[in-house]
Amino acid sequence: MTAAIKVRDLIVILGGRRILHGLTFAVPSGQVTGLLGPSGCGKTTLMRCVVGAQQINSGEIRILGMAAGAAALRHRVGYVTQAFSIYTDLSARDNVRYFAAVYGTSRAAADQALADVALADRADQKVSTLSGGERARVSLACALLAGPELLVLDEPTVGLDPVLRHDLWARFHALAASGTTLFVSSHVMDEASRCDRLLLMRDGRLIADDTPQALRTATGTADLEEAFLRLIQRAAAGDLTTYPHAPPSEMADQQVTR
């Protein structure tokens, strides 16, 4: 397995508080890996680290074999934030055409990207008048234009209706099948089963790093939300076997804070 993302002993402290507690994991290439966990557990902070937008306190992050944030990665990594970095005073079409120009892609490709996220019929509408879900899709269309090898998507399906959510996940898997690596966060556990692989996070720590099927087997339940609960209970009971990938430093950290 080649890994698009390799993180070792990652610690981030913000506002004097430890937000990420020594994370170690790898995200395999050409798959959809989900980063699942409740609001405030550190998903956005971790994604910002991966794209090189967050200063880290210690640890190592390798992206496509390079240090996170390396200039050479700029066009190889796409990042769609929760806040969407698109221009609200421009139409959806002008946004994607702008990014197409930046990436040296054709206008036809820009129009196709809008069609791919089912927004062709909203193309001339100003982004400021679009719904949250529609803005999310404009952002995604812009990120897709660069044809990134790694696509980091922070809660891309929030506020989408079930049909669109289903279509977007299908699109993620189509991208993965063509070799793109997707790292997708969500606080909605029912999206967990749509991922090839899962990182379950709580309070800045990983409590699982496995396939959905392996997690079901390990916890004895078919329901991934229930599996998550059981892992939390095991961790609370001090059963560190639920941390298969925890490095020694993370163990030490837990003993200190307990």
Ligand X SMILES: Nc1ncnc2c1ncn2[C@@H]1O[C@H](COP(=O)(O)OP(=O)(O)O)[C@@H](O)[C@H]1O
Could you say which of Mg ion, ligand X, none residue 65 binds, taking C-beta under 5 to 8 angstroms by partner kind?
Answer: none
Nearer to ligand X, 45 or 219 (CB): 45
Among the listed ranges 42-50, 110-118, 162-170, 223-231, the one in contact with ligand X (CB under 6 A) is: 42-50
Q: Figure out which of the listed residues 4, 7, 10, 19 binds ligand X, where binding follows CB under 6 A.
A: 19
Nearer to ligand X, 11 or 123 (CB): 11
Residue 16's contacts (CB-CB under 8 Å, 6 or more residues apart) are: none
Q: Is 44 in the site for Mg ion (CB under 5 A)?
A: yes
Could you say which of Mg ion, ligand X, none residue 132 binds, taking C-beta under 5 to 8 angstroms by partner kind?
Answer: none
Nearer to ligand X, 34 or 42 (CB): 42
Among the listed ranges 11-19, 39-47, 215-223, 226-234, the one in contact with Mg ion (CB under 5 A) is: 39-47
Q: Is 41 in the site for ligand X (CB under 6 A)?
A: yes
Within residues 84-103, the interface with ligand X by CB under 6 A covers none
Binding mask 45-84 for ligand X (x = CB under 6 A): x---------------------------------------
Q: Figure out which of the listed residues 39, 178, 241, 255 binds ligand X, where binding follows CB under 6 A.
A: 39
Q: Is 195 in the site for ligand X (CB under 6 A)?
A: no
Residue 78's contacts (CB-CB under 8 Å, 6 or more residues apart) are: 143, 144, 146, 148, 150, 151, 152
Q: Is 42 in the site for ligand X (CB under 6 A)?
A: yes
Residues that bind ligand X (CB under 6 A): 14-15, 19, 37, 39-45
Residues that bind Mg ion (CB under 5 A): 43-44
